[in-house]
A and B are shown apart, each in its own frame.
Chain A
Amino acid sequence: MSGPEGMRDAAAAGRFALQRCTACGRAQYPPREVCAACLSDRLAWQVAEALPGVLLARTVLHHSHEERFRPRLPLGIGLVRLAAGPVVLCFAPVPRTIGDAVQVRAALDETGTPVLTAR
């Protein structure tokens, strides 16, 4: 599994599945068909309760093009660099300063899509 479906099973159990190349060891996000570094297609899921990272930037959305998000505005969104390497876009409900350490967890949203949240 190389798409978001790989993340879905883990997220259903409240766990974060990060894609990692078994050939060169590099982690990547969003999930891809091949490793962006060495082009191997031998990709595996590294599953964790939560992954540590550092907040790179945060925004508060006051507008969304998608109707289902409008009742949830204003909505905190963050960019987090995982200690494992990749940068993830995620919900960031708690106001934080750039450079703060955070933990990123995964869950399924109401549509069954895996989503990440940093706290």
Chain B
Amino acid sequence: MRNRRDIVAAVPVTVPYARRSGHGAAWFLARALALLLEGSGLDKRAIDGLCAASFTLAPDTAVAFTQHVGLSPRLLEWLPVGGACGVVALRRAARAVAAGEAEVVACLAGDTANATSFRDLIAQFSRFSREAVHPYGAGGPNASFALITAAYMHATGATREDFGRLCVAQRANARANPLALLRDELTLDAYLAARPIAEPLHLYDCVMPCAGADGFLVMSRARAARLGLSGVRLLGAIERYNAFPDDPVPLTGGWAIDQAALWRQAGLGPEAIDVLQTYDDYPVMSLIQLEDLGICGKGEGPAFIRRHDLTLAGDRPHNTGGGQLSAGQAGAAGGFLGLVEAMRQLLGTAGARQVATARHALVSGFGMINYDRGLCSAACVLAAP
């Protein structure tokens, strides 16, 4: 049994996002796998573990994908946890490598997008949403997050300007990210003047669905060194499902249960974090994650946004590649986006958006609105090599 601290994540890759694609999800996942092999110099036969996530691979799963691309792994994790899939993939891959159950694990997430894929996805998303959300014309995440945002604003005094500051800062970060789909300047005035989608949500509060894939490799530090790769170290990771089921409106996520364990595992505290990557399917969720992970106090998300500069040059760089709000949401790859961005920052390969001081990163994930709330929450702390 290896110590989990001797496990690294290396070779962050991205199959460039596109608004629409004629390729299937298997193409995107396979391209990510090919990029991992190119980036590591490994032969495909060396991959003996696979963690994968996708919505549009259906009816296939990671099982069918092994035959599609000719992999014969001895560890296989299919992760239907939506935006938590990146952290969960890393956590489980690291555990498997530490236990000697796999040597090199490929972690992949990706989806395609076409005129009907998003509608088809939300029509069959879950039993509860089919029975208790769809009949109200409220299928898809916009309505659920509009209600959560309205309740959060009522509870904390958050304003549209607060959410706007977060979105504007992320767009400024995206302008230094050639992989982001939305790179035009966004001003606070333009944010506030955007058309309403589901009040209080307006256009720039909503991610743009797109096609794309992200991936990375997990292996022992010794194995990475033999390959001449540097990898980021996993200091701690948590996951939690259906947290606080009795809260009438989900203004607290599973991170609040496990954040003490996360910081204890990591051996450091929130003040040591140089780069923050939260799951920004809607800005309210980023604020809730910052609160529940102890970056600020509960209910202090709006004050945090007003007090800190979240841009690359700021005192609290956050979603440094632009987040999903600017990069696009490539289905399950949205759950990998913050993780591969954190890896690039810690490996010093973030190019024009490199944060000079990046030594420790916090990455959080969130996923799967089943009825009225997302059921999956996860987070990890990473360290530079």
Q: Interface size of B by Cβ–Cβ distance < 8 Å?
A: 35
Q: Which of B15-23, B63-71, B72-80, B139-147 lies at the interface with chain A? A: B139-147
Q: How far is the CA of A102 from the CA of B65 in the complex (A)?
A: 50
Q: Mask for A1-18, Cβ within 8 A of B = 1, else 0?
A: 001100000000000000
- Evaluate contact between A89 and B136: CB separation under 8 angstroms: yes
Closest chain A CB from B120 CB (angstroms): 10
Q: Please, which residues of chain A bring their CB within 8 A of the CB of B136?
A: 75, 77, 89-91, 115
Q: Given known contacts A56-B151, A87-B248, is B199 in contact with A62 (CB within 8 Å)?
A: yes
* Chain A residues closer than 8 Å to B99, beta-carbon distance: none
Assuming the contacts A30-B371, A60-B198, A81-B248, asked whether A115 and B135 have C-beta atoms less than 8 A apart, the reply is: yes
Within 8 Å of chain B (Cβ to Cβ): is A84? no
Q: Say yes or no: A79-B147 contact (C-beta < 8 A), given A3-B131, A30-B128, A30-B132.
A: yes
Verify B150–A66 contact, CB threshold 8 A: no
Question: For residues 12 through 58 of chain A, which have their beta carbon under 8 Å from a beta carbon of chain B?
Answer: 29-31, 36, 56-58
Number of A-B contacts (CB under 8 A): 102
CB distance from B5 to the nearest CB of A (A): 39
Query: How far, in Å, is B351 (CB) from chain A's closest CB?
Result: 36
Q: Are A89 and B138 in contact (CB under 8 A)?
A: yes
CB–CB A59/B200 < 8 A: yes
Chain A, residue nearest B144 (CB): A89
In addition to A77-B143, A89-B136, 9 A-B residue pairs with Cβ atoms within 8 Å of each other are: A4-B131, A36-B245, A56-B147, A59-B199, A62-B197, A64-B138, A75-B136, A81-B248, A87-B372
23 chain-A/chain-B pairs, Cβ below 8 angstroms? A30-B128, A30-B132, A56-B147, A56-B248, A57-B147, A58-B147, A58-B150, A59-B143, A59-B199, A59-B201, A61-B137, A61-B142, A63-B198, A64-B137, A65-B122, A65-B139, A66-B139, A69-B137, A73-B137, A77-B136, A77-B137, A81-B248, A87-B248
